[in-house]
Structures are given as structure tokens and as C-alpha cells.
Amino acid sequence: MTRAIRTTRMRTASVGAAILALSAGAALLGASCKAGPCRPGPDCPDPYAGTCPSGWGCAEPVWDGTYAVEGFNNSGVVAVWVGRPSEAPDCAESNYFHMTDLYLEPKTIDRCPRCIVEPVHERPYERVTLLKGGRCTDSTYIDALLVGEFVVPAGWDGSCVSQRSDVVPAPEDVDIAMGIREIISDCRLSLSLEDLDALWGKMFRVCRRTWPVDQYCDGLGTQCIPRMPPDFRECLEYRGDESIQACPRSHPELIRAHVGVDGCPGCSFRSPGGELTHTLTFYADEHCTQPIPSADSWDDGRCYDMPPSASPRSVSATYTAESVGECYVDISGEQKAELRPDGWVPFCCRPAP
């Protein structure tokens, strides 16, 4: 059994604190600047993007005369699209991960949206990390230090990736490579777009993506995010204890989005499960032509022991669906006679482009 589709809170995780323990001068190689603000110039065109991967930038810090605004977390920045439910874009196409959908402008709330479930054929890797000082086979990977990471796109199809960012100081060779997949279910649950169009004027699609190796993004207290795609805007969820009255000047527009329809039964799914194979291949060059003979020590595509003096410069992935399990919708509870918009979640957003 998998949890109900409705989620009222969003959470992000970061390993930045662990990275800072490695070195007081933690930074990313391959980026244009060293850690900390630097003067604009040929080697540092943007003083606030020095520690971000190529094509990423620092999120706007929350401010209202100071950098600290109660009820907001700089590292929780999200990309938000607002429009008709049937026209909602795929977050992965903009290098973001889908977090949740909320709703605006209720119409006649006269039905519960139908639940749709479909099997997942792939569970792409979200992170591919490089570690030093341990082995997968004897579980010493627990104490290994994270020294680098490949910048893989959201919804990665497995094609060759060569952009690599390293923690400073990073050794030339690594002992372990790990692949992390966040999507662990066999089925994908969604709501009928036809029903959502009939119930709501607009959808509030929330997409997440931060760069976990960089905790403070040049000392501004924010994190790196992919460049904001067209028709998206940068927002933060308000998590304060008191009712919000106004947004900070950095993100001035207050938007309250509904969670869904109150009175509808819970919607989840069950599945006997399928068999999917995931494999990472590492290479000594940047074009995925010189494979490194690594060993998948857990036989599940997660942990790889590297040979002595290995220094991966690119990586590819293979996803194979040996078998795909059936997915079944589970409906819990009864529909109530009175249907109405369910709750709301407040966001503060930067102006629309």
C-alpha cells in the first residue's frame, strides 16, 4: 500500500552540512568561481553563481531589509507554474522534479476527480555521487567522504553525462560511486485532467530542484537551482506559526493555493511489483568511450566499488524493465454529500516574468 496522493507539506533534503564538515573552504570545481562572492570579470561573470553547476544559478535570498525572514527557508525554493490543469508542463522537461499540484479558482465543486494509476517503467537516478575512503562490500561506505557528483538532468534517460562537480579539496581518484533513485514506487498516481479542468480554473504546479553539494551559495543562505524556465516563477512556501499578512520584498506576491477537494475519499494504489534493472557505467574520459571496470557490489544499481586510482570523468545509465507489475486503484472511505475546496497553502513568489 502506498500513501494517499494528497500532500499538504513539502520537504527538501540537503547534505550540505556534511559537506561543510569536509572543508571550511568547500566549493565546486568546474564552476566559474571559487566559494564566496568574487568580482565580476572573465573568470567570474556572475558573483552570485560561483558555486553552482553550469546552467544553474543562486536562488533569490529572502529579504525584507535583512536576509532573515521568519517563516521562510531559503533552501526550500521551488519553481511554480500556474495555468489550466490540462496545460500543465512536465517538470522534468525544465530540469526539475515534480513535487506536488495545488489548485486555484474553484469552479462548481460537484465531483471528486477520478484517480488514475499507471505502471512506472523507469526510475531514473536523481544523483550520482563519488566518495573516498571506503568500500561497498564491507559497508565502510557509511564513513566515506563525498568528494564529487555528476550533474545529471531530471528524468535522466541514461545518455552520457560528463559535467562533474567536486568538493575542494577533492582527491584525483575515488573509491566508491553511488547512484540514488528517489522514486521507489512501482506505480504513478495522478488525477483526471478532464475532471480537474471542470473543478478548477487554474493549477499550481510545484517543481523542486536544488544542488545538494552547495549549502550556502556564496554565503547568501540560499541554494543553487536550475535557471527558471519560461512561464515559471520562483516561490517559497510559508511555514510560519502565525497567519501570513504580507510577503517579503524579495518574493512580494502572496498566493494561496487549495490542496484539493474536501469530502472526497482517499486515493492510493496497490501493486504486486515488477522487476526493473538499473545499471551505471563509469568512464575514464568525458565522452563515455573508455569504460572503467567497476563492480556493482549490491546488485541493485546503487553502490559501485571502483578499481585503484579510478577517476570517473563521465557516466551513463541503463534502465531495463524485465517485467512491469499491474497497478490497481484503492479508494478508501466514502464520498461526503458536501464537497468544497480543501484547505490552502500560502506561497510567496517573485513577480511573474
Q: What is the pLDDT averaged over residues 242-251?
A: 90
- φ, ψ for residue 149, nearest 5 deg: -155, 140
Query: Over pLDDT 90: what percentage of the chain?
Result: 48
Q: Tell me, what's the pLDDT at 233? A: 95
Q: What is the pLDDT averaged over residues 23-40?
A: 36
Q: Does 46 or 312 have the greater pLDDT score?
A: 312
Q: Tell me, what's the pLDDT at 214? A: 61
- Runs of H (alpha helix) within 90-235: 193-199
pLDDT above 80 (res 77): yes
Confidence grade of residue 51 (pLDDT, cut at 50, 70, 90): low
What is the residue-wise DSSP string for 310-344?
----EEEEEEEEEE----EEEEES---S--EEE--
Mean pLDDT: which of 6-10, 271-275, 341-345 is highest?
A: 341-345
- φ, ψ for residue 319, nearest 5 deg: -115, 125
* Beta bridge partners of residue 347, listed in sequence order: 237, 255
Place of cell 567570474: 44
pLDDT above 70 (res 29): no
Range from 8-22, 156-170, 296-310 carrying the lowest mean pLDDT? 8-22
Residue 161 per-residue DSSP state: B
Nearest alpha-carbon partner for 297 in 139, 125, 127: 139
In three-state secondary structure terms, 100 is: strand
Q: Tell me, what's the pLDDT at 158? A: 95
- Which residues, in sequence order, are CB contacts of 117 under 8 Å at separation 6+? 187, 188, 189, 190, 269, 327, 328, 329
Q: What is the pLDDT averaged over residues 189-203?
A: 95
Q: Tell me, what's the pLDDT at 201? A: 96
pLDDT above 60 (res 36): no
- φ, ψ for residue 91, nearest 5 deg: -60, -40
Cα 212 to its chain centre, rounded Å, is 10
pLDDT above 80 (res 152): yes
Inter-residue contact 317 to 278 (CB < 8 Å): yes
Q: Tell me, what's the pLDDT at 41? A: 46
Cα 179 to its chain centre, rounded Å, is 15
Q: What is the pLDDT of residues 295-323, one digit of tens each?
A: 888 878 899 999 999 999 999 999 887 77
Strands (E), 170-308: 176-180, 187-191, 200-208, 224-226, 232-237, 253-257, 260-262, 266-270, 275-283, 295-296, 303-305
- Rounded-to-integer distance, Cα 44 and Cα 262, Å: 51
Range from 18-22, 263-267, 272-276 carrying the lowest mean pLDDT? 18-22
pTM over 0.85: no
Place of cell 478532464: 194
Residue 228 per-residue DSSP state: P
Query: Over pLDDT 70: what percentage of the chain?
Result: 81
Q: Tell me, what's the pLDDT at 125? A: 93
pLDDT above 50 (res 27): no
pLDDT above 80 (res 33): no
Q: Tell me, what's the pLDDT at 14? A: 32
Q: Tell me, what's the pLDDT at 159? A: 97
Q: Does 114 or 51 have the greater pLDDT score?
A: 114
Q: Tell me, what's the pLDDT at 220? A: 65
Range from 48-52, 84-88, 275-279 carrying the lowest mean pLDDT? 48-52
